[in-house]
Structures are given as C-alpha cells and as structure tokens.
Structure 1
C-alpha cells in the first residue's frame, strides 16, 4: 500500500470532487472514523475493490459515468467492505477455498444491500443500477460465479429486492444454495464454519 494513503497531497480529491463528497458523506453515515481516499485502479470495465481500511479503488470508467446514482452505488458498496474489513477474509483463500468463496459471496451481498441503503437507492432503481454495473463475469453461469467468489448479478438484484436487510434468512438461503451448487460434503458443518468466520 502506498504511503500516500496516509501522507501527502491527495490529487484525486481535486480531480474528482463529486466522488469525494460521496466518500466523506458515506463514511460519516457508515460510522467510519477514518478519512477514505480514492485510488484509481487499471481496467477498462466498471469495477471497484478495497485492500485496506483507508482507500477505495475504482476504475476510470466508473469515475467517468454520467449517472451519479451508479457512481454512488460503487462508492457505497466499497465503503461497506471497508466498514466490515472484508478484505481480511482473503486469508481463507489459502486455507479453504470453498469457505473463502462462500465468505466472499456473503460479503458481496451485504455490501450490496447496505451499500444500496447508504446511497439511498430503492425500488426499481436497484435493478437499473445493477444493470449498468454488471461485469462480464456475472454473465457466466452460477457455478462459475460461485467458483470465483461472486454472486450472479441477477442474484444481487433478486435478494436486494426480496430482503429489506441482510439478515439470517438471507444468510441461510445463500449458503444453502452455495452448498447445493458446489456439492459441498457435510453442508451442516460447512455452514457452521462459515457462520463462525463471518462478521
């Protein structure tokens, strides 16, 4: 991680004042104590990620979108990943790949649902925003998506509209489907293990 996350001028704040207004607003609403910075990541598609509690990474195509609602979705989604320190769950990648994928999928659903609420996106706008945000991976079949640790975009829309909050019912429904599709042996033990590791 670059030390510029902590020190020095933040030139992106000058270049993208609208995004920084969202970063500052959403950080306060999410209850974060730290100032979040914007970093630009390489890529020609619409994408974002986090790797620390101090910055979100977005591609230039996200930053150049004309729809402020979609930009707000990306910023809020990544902000929720920071709130829960989801990037730390990457440790399971080297321990148990199925568990890593299940945890990552749950993190994505939580970031979607709480991010949509944080950005004030409701009703039919949920599908509109997700239709714009879709990336090629999410057009793959469900098993391919699960194997890469992401839900299908259609699942994101469905669960965001079906459930008001990220709660135990959604949690169980997603995990049971994951176990079925991925043919997890001893699904009850797997579910208990994932639940213990998820926060």
Structure 2
C-alpha cells in the first residue's frame, strides 16, 4: 500500500536503495503521508465512523483524520514524523515529495531526523514554490546545502531548473535529453519488467517503482 508504514518497512526489509513517499499538510499543519489532495483513493472510514474522504486534506485537522479514517489495508494514515523516525537510522536514500508548501514544523522535522545523513535526502516537488522554502535555508544552513532538491516534470520544460537533479515521467526523450545539460535524472513510475529493463539499461540514476523486489533482482 503506497504511503503506508508497511511499504516503508518492506523497502527496508528487501534492502532497497531508497524509499519515496508524499506529504500533504492538514489544516492544523501536520504533515501526513498522502499522494492525493483528498483521502478518497487510498482510505476508508474506520468501523462506525464517517471519514470525509472527498474533503481535501488541507481542510481537515489531524485529529479528524485519525479518529475517522484509515488506509484501505487497515493501517493508520502515518505522519511524516512517524516515518522519519523509522528511517533515522537507515542508510538508504529518502525521497520526500512535497505536495504543498511546507511549514516551519515540517522543515524542523526533516532537519531533526536527517541531521546525520543529509547527503541521502532528496526533497522533490512539482511546485517550485515548495522547493524555494528549502532553497532559502541554504543561505544559513550547512545541512540544506548538502540536501539535493529535485524538481519534478511531467513534460519537458522550456528551460531546465536551477536545481542539480531533476526527475521526469518515464519517456525515452525525457530520459536522455537532460544529460546534455549535466543533470542526474530519475523516472517514475516504472513497474513492468519491460520498462524496468529499459531504464536500468540506460543507467538512470533514480527509478521510482512499486515493484521494488523485482527491480532489485534486475539491477
């Protein structure tokens, strides 16, 4: 199950090179693991409760979500802090996709749990405004100068960003062109054997997949 504690723990168990997850912020500023703006696709109501599945996360408090909602597999919807605590002592890449504008609490949590391994942290986003929050921290922070910020594109941009690493949707064209501009690249989401073999053959730096064990076998 995507963005669940069990998926994070499974990635650790199979010795994946890294883990990737997404965060949205609740109305009271708590970062939770969730890809979509609302809970509908991956969540359900707890027994006897009524989860507001179609309401955007930003309009719900964390206590509302915790009391009424759970993931489709029955797990609790995890917070960013819960996941970072698990990963704190693990030597693997952490790809944290920020879906909205991070607040000071979220920035502090990221710093706290990655303080000893900033070189393994990748903060990624479609939103340049979200990345600018972290980029501004580089002026006075050795930590953030060691963290790679990754801009995500679905389509080839007119001009490439000023970030050192970019990540792209899985197309052949997108996979090779950025190399001409001296960039490391990643692709998402690659699940089939056919696609996995292709991207691994091209020696693409980062591959996001739901089929971690198979990817590790083909690597």
TM-score over 0.5 for the pair: no
Asked which structure has the greater RCO (Cα within 8 Å, sep 6+), the reply is: 1
The structure with more radius of gyration? 2
Scaled by the length of structure 2, what TM-score is found? 0.27
Scaled by the length of structure 1, what TM-score is found? 0.28
More strand by share: 2
More helix by share: 1
